[in-house]
C-alpha cells in the first residue's frame, strides 16, 4: 500500500471497529490507488479518500412485526447512503441473519465504484435487515416488509435513494415494499424501487442481468487470450438468481456447467446442470440442492462437505456470498488448471485467493466490474419508469451487453494506463474511483 494511503486506511479502520468486511473492501481499493495519488496529489489535499470512506448517511431502525401465531418479533433495519456524487443512492436490500452494519457498509462501499463503472448517473448505497425469510410464510414476509418500509420510506425516493433486491429480497419482497411505499406516500413513484414485476414497472432482463452480465464480462476476458466459453468446464457456486442465470448464459455459449450449491452442500453433474430441474427445486419448491441430485438420478451426486471449488474446472463463477472462495480453494483451482474467475457475488473471493490468481496470471474479474450488470439494468429500469416506457427483451439485453463490454474495456484500458496491464482489479478500482473523485472535487467540500 502506498505510504500516503496507509495512515488514511488506519484511521478508517479505527473509526469503524469490528467491521471486518468493510475493512476488507477498503483495503482492496486502497491497494490499487498508489499510482493514482502519485499522479493526482490534489486528491490527498482535498481529503477525497477520507470522505469517500465515510458514508453520507447511516440509518439504523427497529422493525417490529408479528408472525402467523401472533408472536411479536423485533429485527434491525439498515440503510447506508454512501455516496451521491454521481446520482441518487442506488443499491440493494439484503434480508439475511448475517446482516449487520459492517456488511451493509462493505456492500455500499463496493456499490459506489460498481455504479460508477456502469456509466449510469447513480450513486452508491446499500441496506437490509437481519431478518431471515427462510421458512416464513408469505403473510409473515408481507408484514415484515410493510413494517420495514414504514420506517424506510421517509429516507428514499427516485431523486434521493433507489433500493433494489439482494440476497433474500426478490420480486415478492419488492412487491410488498413498493405497495407499502405507495400506501404511505399516496404516490405511484415507479422508480423508487427497482426489480419490480413486469406488469407494474419492471424491466425485462433485470432478473437475468447479474448472472448474464457476469458471463458476458468473463467472455470478454477470455477473448483477450483467444478463448471463449465454448467447450469450457464451468464451476458455479450458489443456486439463486445470479447463479441460475450465470449457468443459463454459460450454457448458451457452449460451456458445460457442472456444479451448483446452497448452504447444505453442493451437487456435481458431469453431464451439465439440468437448469429447468434446478429452478423447479430451488425457485418453485424452495427445496434443498440435495433434492436436485435425487431427482437427477445417478447422473448427479450431492456432497454435503467441502466446496464446489474442489471440482476440476476451467472457469469459476462464485455466485453465492462474500469470502466463499479462500486461498486453499484457489490453490485447488490452480492445480486443476483454471483459466478465468469472475465474481458473480459481492467480494466472494478473499484477498489471499485474489492474489494467488493474479500471481498465476489467471484472468480475474472483480465483482464491482463483473456483476455490475444487475445495477446497470436497474438504472435502465429507472429510465423506462421516468419516460413511462417499456423496452423489449432484445433491446434491453443488447444495452446490457454494450454496458458490460464498456466496463471490461474501461477496466483493461485503465489498468494499462496505470502500468498494470491485465489487472482488472486495479483497473476497476481506479476507473470507478477517478470518476467519483472527479465529481466530488467538482461539487466542493460536502
210 in a labelled binding site? yes
Burial of 366 (C-beta count, 10 Å sphere; 0-12/13-18/19+): buried
Kindly state whether residue 99 falls inside one of the protein's structural domains. Answer: yes
Q: What is the pLDDT of residue 299?
A: 86
Q: Say if residue 222's pLDDT is above 90.
A: yes
Non-local (6+) Cβ contacts of 122 within 8 A are 86, 87, 88, 89, 90, 115, 162, 375, 379, 382
pLDDT band for position 217 (cuts 50, 70, 90) = very high
Q: What is the pLDDT of residue 2?
A: 86
What mean pLDDT comes out for the span 326-340? 98
The number of domains in the chain is 2
The three-point CA angle 409-243-327 to 5° equals 75
Q: Say if residue 1's pLDDT is above 90.
A: no
Q: What is the pLDDT of residue 178?
A: 98
Q: What is the pLDDT of residue 398?
A: 97
Kindly state whether residue 66 falls inside one of the protein's structural domains. Answer: yes
**Kind and range of the H or E element at 445?**
none
Sheet containing 57-66, strands listed edge to edge, beginning at the edge strand earlier in sequence: 57-66, 72-83, 123-129, 89-95, 161-165
pLDDT-above-90 percentage for the chain: 97
What confidence tens digit (pLDDT) does each residue in 179-214 have?
Answer: 999 999 999 999 999 999 999 999 999 999 999 999
Distance CA 417, CA 440 (A): 22
What mean pLDDT comes out for the span 10-38? 96
Residues 184 and 219 in one domain: no
Distance CA 138, CA 136 (A): 7
Single out the residue in 190, 219, 248 at which a domain terminates: 190
Non-local (6+) Cβ contacts of 298 within 8 A are none
Residues 151 and 254 in one domain: no
Kindly state whether residue 446 falls inside one of the protein's structural domains. Answer: no
What mean pLDDT comes out for the span 334-342? 98
Residues belonging to the active site: 126
Residues 265 and 304 in one domain: yes
What confidence tens digit (pLDDT) does each residue in 254-304 have?
Answer: 999 999 999 999 999 999 999 999 999 998 898 999 999 999 988 899 999
What confidence tens digit (pLDDT) does each residue in 67-89 have?
Answer: 999 999 999 999 999 999 999 99
The CATH number of whichever domain residue 53 belongs to comes to: 3.40.50.10860
Residues 186 and 212 in one domain: no
pTM score = 0.94
Kindly state whether residue 356 falls inside one of the protein's structural domains. Answer: yes
Residues 179 and 248 in one domain: no
Range of the domain at 286: 208-361
111 in a labelled binding site? yes
Q: What is the pLDDT of residue 297?
A: 83
90 in a labelled binding site? yes
Q: What is the pLDDT of residue 121?
A: 97
What confidence tens digit (pLDDT) does each residue in 98-124 have?
Answer: 999 999 999 999 999 999 999 999 999
Q: What is the pLDDT of residue 77?
A: 98
What mean pLDDT comes out for the span 299-319? 96
241 in a labelled binding site? yes
Distance CA 190, CA 179 (A): 11
The position carrying cell 447422473 is 299
What mean pLDDT comes out for the span 159-187? 96
Distance CA 337, CA 333 (A): 6
Single out the residue in 190, 224, 256 at which a domain terminates: 190
Q: What single-letter DSSP state applies at residue 200?
A: G
186 in a labelled binding site? no
- Residue 126: all three cell numbers together: 446499500
Residues 183 and 226 in one domain: no
Amino acid at each position: 500500500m502506498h505510504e500516503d494511503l496507509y495512515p488514511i486506511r488506519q484511521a478508517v479502520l479505527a473509526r469503524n471497529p469490528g467491521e471486518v468486511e468493510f475493512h476488507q473492501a477498503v483495503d482492496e481499493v486502497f491497494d490499487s490507488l498508489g499510482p493514482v495519488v502519485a499522479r493526482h496529489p490534489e486528491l490527498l489535499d482535498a481529503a477525497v479518500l477520507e470522505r469517500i470512506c465515510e458514508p453520507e448517511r447511516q440509518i439504523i431502525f427497529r422493525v417490529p412485526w408479528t408472525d402467523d401465531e401472533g408472536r411479536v418479533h423485533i429485527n434491525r433495519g439498515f440503510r447506508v447512503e454512501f455516496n451521491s456524487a454521481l446520482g441518487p443512492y442506488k443499491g440493494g436490500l439484503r434480508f439475511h441473519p448475517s446482516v449487520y452494519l459492517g456488511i451493509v457498509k462493505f456492500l455500499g462501499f463496493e456499490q459506489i465504484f460498481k455504479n460508477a463503472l456502469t456509466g449510469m448517473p447513480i450513486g452508491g448505497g446499500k441496506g437490509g435487515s437481519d431478518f431471515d425469510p427462510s421458512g416464513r410464510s408469505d403473510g409473515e414476509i408481507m408484514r415484515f416488509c410493510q413494517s420495514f418500509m414504514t420506517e424506510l420510506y421517509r429516507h428514499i425516493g427516485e431523486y434521493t435513494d433507489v433500493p433494489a433486491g439482494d440476497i433474500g429480497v426478490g420480486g415478492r419482497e419488492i412487491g410488498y415494499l413498493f405497495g407499502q411505499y405507495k400506501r404511505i406516500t399516496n404516490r405511484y413513484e415507479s422508480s423508487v424501487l427497482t426489480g419490480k414485476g413486469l406488469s407494474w414497472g419492471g424491466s425485462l432482463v433485470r432478473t437475468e442481468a447479474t448472472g448474464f452480465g457476469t458471463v458476458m464480462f468473463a467472455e470478454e476476458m477470455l477473448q483477450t487470450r483467444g478463448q471463449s466459453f465454448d467447450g469450457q468446464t464451468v464451476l458455479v457456486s450458489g443456486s439463486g438468481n445470479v447463479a441460475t442465470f450465470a449457468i443459463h448464459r454459460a450454457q448458451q455459449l457452449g460451456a458445460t456447467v457442472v456444479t451448483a450449491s446452497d448452504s447444505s452442500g453442493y451437487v456435481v453433474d458431469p453431464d451439465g446442470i439440468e437448469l429447468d430441474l434446478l429452478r423447479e427445486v430451488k425457485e418453485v419448491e424452495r427445496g434443498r440442492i440435495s433434492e436436485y441430485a435425487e431427482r437427477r438420478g445417478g447422473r448427479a451426486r450431492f456432497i454435503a462437505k467441502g466446496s464446489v471449488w474442489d471440482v476440476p474446472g476451467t472457469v469459476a463463477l462464485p455466485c453465492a456470498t462474500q469470502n466463499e472462495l479462500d486461498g486453499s480453494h484457489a490453490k485447488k483451482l490452480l492445480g486443476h488448471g483454471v483459466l478465468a474467475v469472475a465474481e458473480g457475488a459481492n467480494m466472494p473471493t478473499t484477498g489471499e485467493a485474489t492474489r494467488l490468481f493474479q500471481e498465476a496470471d489467471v484472468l480475474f474479474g472483480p465483482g464491482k466490474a463483473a456483476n455490475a450488470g444487475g445495477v446497470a439494468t436497474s438504472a435502465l429500469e429507472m429510465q423506462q419508469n421516468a419516460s413511462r416506457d417499456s423496452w423489449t427483451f432484445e433491446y434491453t439485453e443488447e444495452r446490457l451487453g454494450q454496458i458490460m463490454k464498456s466496463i471490461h474495456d474501461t477496466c483493461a484500458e485503465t489498468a494499462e494506463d496505470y502500468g498494470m496491464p491485465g489487472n482488472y482489479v486495479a483497473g476497476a478500482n481506479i476507473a470507478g474511483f477517478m470518476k467519483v473523485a472527479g465529481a466530488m472535487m467538482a461539487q466542493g467540500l460536502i
